[in-house]
Amino acid sequence: MKKRKVIISDRAVNSMKRIISKHQMNGFLGADKAKDAILNRLRMLGVNPEKDSRVAKFGRLDGDYRSVLAWNHRIYFRLDEEEIHVLDVFMDIDKEVRL
């Protein structure tokens, strides 16, 4: 299996900053856990993007769009032959955890 380059959009970077900032208001432990979970999952995407991912449908957009869970956050990405484009990161409502 070939390792793919992971490209993170500005929108996803801003979402991660917002998520970590929100967790910092509740304590640094939650912020560290969120940051570590998201960064570890992003690293794993380059190696095996299909693992534990689910298909995400974005209307009429062509391409292989997927999402994966990182702690209680969902990472949305587009899977290409050579690269993975991380589009955004959201709080997963089904997995919301109270800190």
- What is the rounded end-to-end Cα distance, in angstroms, of the chain? 38
Domain locations along the chain: 5-95
pLDDT tens by residue, the chain, 99 residues: 678 999 999 999 999 999 888 888 877 667 788 888 899 999 999 898 888 899 888 777 788 899 999 888 899 999 998 999 999 998 876 554 444
- Taking the CB of residue 69, how many other CB atoms lie within 10 A of it? 16
What pLDDT is stored for residue 98 in this prediction? 46
Residue 75 is predicted with a pLDDT of 94
Which pLDDT score is estimated for 99? 41
Match domain 5-95 to its CATH number in 3.10.450.50, 3.40.50.300, 3.30.2310.20, 3.90.1150.10.
3.30.2310.20
pTM: 0.82
Gap between the Cα atoms of 42 and 62, Å rounded? 23
